[in-house]
Each structure stands twice: as structure tokens, then as C-alpha cells.
Copies of this chain bind each other. A is one copy, B any other.
Amino acid sequence: MIRDEFEFINKIKSKETQQPSLIKGIGDDAAVFKSSHMFDELICMDTMVEGVHFTKQTMTPFMLGFKALAVNISDIAAMGGIPTYYLVSIAVPKGWTEEELLEIYAGMSKLGKQYSMDLIGGDTVSSPGGLIITVTVCGKIEKGTSLYRHQASSGDIIFVVGQLGASAAGLELLLKHGLTHNYSSTEKLLLEAHQLPMPQVAAGRLFATSGEKISLNDISDGLASEANEIAEASNVDLLIEFEKIPRSDYIKDFPLDEQRRWCLFGGEDYLLVGTMSQAAFQKISETFREKAIMLTIIGEVTIGSGDVYITENNKKKKLLKQGFNHFNKGEDNGKI
């Protein structure tokens, strides 16, 4: 249906801005607009579709609610913001019970409470096909401190928060064995990374309040894709060293090519990738150590024109944006 996502977004994106309070519209993890003299407002919207992003074989209703909210909070985290409110629209096909729907809301409430968020609106409607859940999350951030993906400069280091690959590994297990298989304790942690991802709000806040110039993306579509977005938006090249990418401790027994695929293209880890100066990293990494949040340098930013390269076994090659679709049903045309 949509031939080229990038072109499509360009077509629907207005050339000029109407509202004088708008700071950033389409094109980053969340939109930013002026609100008070202290805070800017953040807002984002993300949709999960049964058969495209989840099935009843990969997620319980509780997990679905939790994750649908988590992926949106992750977008607020990727701006450096504080999540505040959420609205939820659910299109429900025949066959879902009221108890299951309440479980979806319970999953959202569980996560929302951790961030003192309030559910403030939404809609429930019938769906002729699968269940479709759309969540809007509002957030706030100290005026002028949002962390955009266009803020990478040559000379910056590239960093990742956390360890990659667990979510994609967990999903592959779920697709193979289903929800109720007798999983090992390690496997359960992989499943959990996929089903109940934790948005990196604390890390985002440390970045935003550091006063440093930082570019930031959350890793929803895989490191390759997110790094390319930073490179394109900042008009620089990113050079990643594969060996430096922190891989989940729980995937290290799997074949290396699978680890590689999960880390670079698997996505849905909802961790953070970004760039900052060497000097900023020296300063900030100390705070991350104190808070026990993993922060790892994985490469550097160079002068360029928006490409990403990866070195593996001393060979440098282009790292393209490709992800992969686990469910092989329909496409996720992606976020506006």
C-alpha cells in the first residue's frame, strides 16, 4: 500500500507550521511544543496490531497492555522527558472477553503507576479484524532540553544504554514454543524482555538534565535502523564496531549469527542509542555507574552524509536500515 515510507511521510508533512508554540512536529520520537515558562510538552502515539506486532501466542492481555504503554513511554524517554498522561483506544474483535480487556488496562496501569501516570481518555470500539491498540502518551521536559536525533556531531562517540538482543531472542522462542512451554529461567528472562520491556526513562532523564548536547533514539526497530535515523537527521556518518555492542548476557549461548541479527536488526529492546562528545561521556558515565545503568561506547561519529558503517573482523561495511518482520503478516509502515 505505501510504496516508500519516507516519501509518504514527506507527502503528508506540512511544509509550514501553523501553531507558533510548535518546536518539533513530525520526525523525532515525540513531538515537542511550548507549554509553560518551565516546561515543554511532549506527545507521541503508537499502535500495536494483532498478527503484526503480537498474537495471543506471544503475549497475554496483561503483557499487551503493559507493552503498548511501554513503547510510547520509551518515545518520551528518547526525548529525555518525564511521562505524565496516557490515552488508549482499543478496537476489539469478537472473541475477546471483558476480563481480557480489563487485563489489558491492568497491564497499562501497572506500568503507568511506576511513572505516576494517569489514564485520561480514549475509546473502545469493535474491530472487524484483529485487536488494535493505539496509545497516546504525553510528557514534559524542562524547556529547551529535548534530545533530538539531529544533534549528532562528527567527533562524538556513539553510545548504547543497556544490553541488546534479548527481545528478539525472546520473540523467536515464543514463536517456536508458544506462551505456555516449560522455559528455563534464562529463557524466561528473554521472553520477559519481549513481553514486558522497560522504557529507559531514568537514563533519558540523566541525559536531558546533563546540559550536554546529546542525540538520542530509542531502539524500537533495531540498532541498524535507529543509528541510520540519527545519521540521516544529523547529516553525519556513524561508525559502529560490532565487537563493542553490548549483547544481552542471556543470548551468549546462541550462535553468533543469531546474536548478530537480534542485536542489529531485532529491535523492540526499547533501550537507547545516541551520541555525545568524548568530554560529555567522561562526565556522564560516572553518574551512570553510580546508578548502575549500563552505558557503553559502540563507535564514533564522523563527517559524512547520513550513512552508518559497521566494522566486523576488521572489515568495514555499510549497515543498512533493514529490520525484519517476525510475523510475516502485513507490514509495519512505521511511525510518522
* The 4 nearest A-B residue pairs measured at CB: A129-B129, A126-B330, A31-B120, A128-B129
In the bound complex, what is the Cα–Cα distance between A50 and B132 (angstroms)?
A: 13
Per-position binary interface string of chain A over residues 19-60, scored 1 when its CB falls under 8 Å from any chain B CB and 0 otherwise: 101100110001101011100010111110111110000000
Per-position binary interface string of chain A over residues 102-142, scored 1 when its CB falls under 8 Å from any chain B CB and 0 otherwise: 10010001001100111111111111111010101010000
Q: B-contacting residues of A (Cβ < 8 Å)? A: 1-3, 8, 11-14, 17-19, 21-22, 25-26, 30-31, 33, 35-37, 41, 43-47, 49-53, 84-85, 87-89, 91-94, 96-98, 101-102, 105, 109, 112-113, 116-130, 132, 134, 136, 138, 329-336
Number of copies: 2
CB–CB A12/B126 < 8 A = no
In the bound complex, what is the Cα–Cα distance between A18 and B84 (angstroms)?
A: 9
Contacts of A122 in B (CB 8 A): 45, 335-336
CB–CB B52/A126 < 8 A = yes
New A-B contacts (16) at CB < 8 Å, excluding given A1-B96, A25-B120: A1-B97, A12-B102, A12-B119, A18-B113, A19-B117, A19-B118, A45-B122, A47-B125, A49-B125, A52-B125, A87-B136, A87-B336, A88-B336, A126-B329, A127-B130, A127-B132
In the bound complex, what is the Cα–Cα distance between A93 and B52 (angstroms)?
A: 12
How far is the CB of A58 from the nearest CB of chain B, in Å? 15
Contacts of A332 in B (CB 8 A): 125-126
Question: Among the interface residues A37, A89, A117, which one has the most CB atoms of the partner chain B within 10 A?
Answer: A89
CB–CB A128/B47 < 8 A = no
CB–CB A89/B134 < 8 A = yes
CB–CB B119/A25 < 8 A = yes
Contacts of A125 in B (CB 8 A): 47, 49, 52-53, 132, 330, 332-333
How far is the CB of A79 from the nearest CB of chain B, in Å? 12
CB–CB A136/B45 < 8 A = yes
Contacts of A31 in B (CB 8 A): 85, 87, 120-121
How far is the CB of A95 from the nearest CB of chain B, in Å? 8
CB–CB B120/A85 < 8 A = no
Contacts of A121 in B (CB 8 A): 25-26, 30-31, 43-45, 335-336
In the bound complex, what is the Cα–Cα distance between A136 and B136 (angstroms)?
A: 7
CB–CB A120/B22 < 8 A = yes
In the bound complex, what is the Cα–Cα distance between A121 and B136 (angstroms)?
A: 10
Q: Given A85-B31, A134-B89, A330-B127, are A105 and B12 neighbors across the interface (CB < 8 Å)?
A: yes
How far is the CB of A253 from the nearest CB of chain B, in Å? 34
In the bound complex, what is the Cα–Cα distance between A125 and B97 (angstroms)?
A: 24
In the bound complex, what is the Cα–Cα distance between A331 and B124 (angstroms)?
A: 9
Contacts of A52 in B (CB 8 A): 125-126, 128
In the bound complex, what is the Cα–Cα distance between A12 and B102 (angstroms)?
A: 7
